[in-house]
């Protein structure tokens, strides 16, 4: 999807750059409202069919939430609607594991580099001489989950559940219908886990690791939740609402770097070129973006493109990143 083709040059001459804070609250809210109005009727893409329950989510749902590092929120649309976090959980579990084991341990046991292949590719494992991928695609995410501290699967689940809930500032619940649907349909992930285990690149029982990963992916969130979770990464690991430090600022940098490289699957290069922000998408329709020092954004819209990324979410991120000065690569023009 060529996002830039949807946007002719803006003749306003007003552009914010990635320094300082977000613009004035009134301007941020007005632009969020404008983005929602612009794209709410877009019907491109279709719901994911990886798990049967995903196909049943109403496809016209659409919400936007920006949360600043000071805790202020700017919202439009269906921001209180529950949806499953799916792969948007990956950077947060990575952050929690890095906090316990250190980023270098994750680098050496999971890998960091983009694969250039679909997010659930088995070939990506076979092609890498060390059988490693990165934590934003399914093989690397399964390996990351297997590194979660705990002697038993329930110990590991408690760590994941409590950690992601701390990022959200509230206790998150598993969507049991989605969990059952995913469990009945995740044979590919079970196969990936078994292959990784055989190569010594999975560090816990493969069946239990797959179940942990499936439960993690089945947590219900809202756009409010993910906006706050993204803002916690933007705020050096401190939740802007609860003021609790979840992870250290050095690990925020590591997680954001991995998101920038691979968070949008095999469309990550185009995303970074057009939007200039670390991001993570999920087949449930959520996308988070993070502007360090400024805030986090979540968009929720279930219709996906061929790469598995929300169509409306990508359009919103492109529209808002430059107008709100979020693009990391934008800078003020120097005087001649």
228-245: pLDDT as tens digits: 999 999 999 999 999 999
Asked whether the beta carbons of 218 and 84 are under 8 A apart, the reply is yes
Domain boundaries, the chain: 3-323
Farthest CA pair distance, the chain: 63
Per-residue pLDDT in tens (0 to 9) along the chain, 336 residues = 556 556 554 544 444 444 568 889 999 999 999 999 999 999 999 999 888 899 999 999 999 999 999 999 999 999 999 999 999 999 999 999 999 999 999 999 999 988 877 777 778 888 888 898 999 999 999 999 999 999 999 999 999 999 999 999 999 999 999 999 999 999 999 999 999 999 999 999 999 999 999 999 999 999 999 999 999 999 999 999 999 999 999 999 999 999 999 999 888 999 999 999 999 999 999 999 999 999 999 999 999 998 889 999 999 999 999 899 899 888 665 555
Distances (CA, A) of 309 to 43, 50, 87, 252: 14, 13, 11, 23
The whole-angstrom separation of Cα 296 and Cα 226 is 8
Contact between 218 and 282 (Cβ < 8 Å): no
State the Cα–Cα distance between residues 327 and 129, nearest whole angstrom.
35
Position 15 scores a pLDDT of 44
Q: Which two tokens stand for residue 146?
A: 């297997």
pLDDT at 19: 52
C-alpha span between 15 and 315 (Å, rounded): 17
Indicate the pTM of the whole model: 0.92
Rounded distance between C-alpha atoms, residue 265 and residue 291, angstroms: 19
Fold adopted by 3-323:
Beta-lactamase (3.40.710)
Q: Find the angle CA(104)-CA(108)-CA(112) to the nearest 5 degrees.
A: 85
CB 3 within 8 A of CB 314: yes
């Amino acid at each position: 999807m060529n996002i830039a083709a949807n946007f002719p040059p803006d003749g306003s001459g007003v552009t914010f750059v990635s320094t300082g804070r977000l613009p004035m609250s009134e301007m941020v809210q007005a632009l969020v409202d404008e983005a929602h109005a612009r794209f709410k009727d877009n019907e491109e893409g279709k719901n994911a069919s990886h798990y049967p329950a995903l196909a049943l989510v109403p496809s016209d749902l659409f919400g936007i939430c920006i949360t600043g590092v000071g805790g202020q929120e700017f919202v439009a649309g269906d921001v209180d609607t529950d949806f499953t976090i799916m792969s948007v959980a990956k950077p947060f579990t990575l952050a929690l594991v890095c906090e316990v084991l250190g980023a270098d341990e994750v680098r050496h046991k999971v890998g960091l580099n983009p694969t250039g292949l679909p997010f659930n590719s088995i070939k990506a494992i076979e092609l890498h001489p060390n059988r490693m991928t990165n934590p934003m695609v399914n093989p690397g995410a399964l390996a990351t989950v297997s590194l979660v501290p705990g002697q038993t699967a329930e110990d590991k689940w408690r760590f994941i559940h409590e950690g992601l809930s701390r990022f959200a500032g509230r206790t998150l619940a598993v969507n049991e219908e989605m969990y059952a649907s995913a469990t009945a349909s995740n044979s590919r992930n079970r196969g990936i886990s078994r292959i990784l285990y055989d190569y010594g690149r999975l560090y816990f029982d493969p069946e239990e690791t797959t179940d942990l990963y499936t439960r993690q992916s089945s947590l219900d969130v809202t756009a409010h939740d993910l906006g706050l979770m993204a803002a916690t990464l933007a705020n050096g690991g401190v939740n802007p609402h609860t003021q609790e430090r979840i992870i250290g600022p050095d690990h925020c940098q590591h997680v954001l770097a991995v998101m920038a490289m691979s968070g949008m699957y095999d469309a990550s290069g185009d995303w970074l070129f057009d939007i200039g922000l670390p991001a993570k998408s999920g087949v449930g329709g959520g996308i988070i973006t993070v502007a360090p020092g400024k805030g986090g954004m979540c968009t929720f819209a279930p219709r996906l493109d061929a790469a598995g990324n929300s169509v409306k979410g990508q359009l919103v991120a492109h529209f808002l990143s430059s107008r709100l000065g979020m693009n990391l690569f934008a800078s003020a023009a120097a005087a001649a």
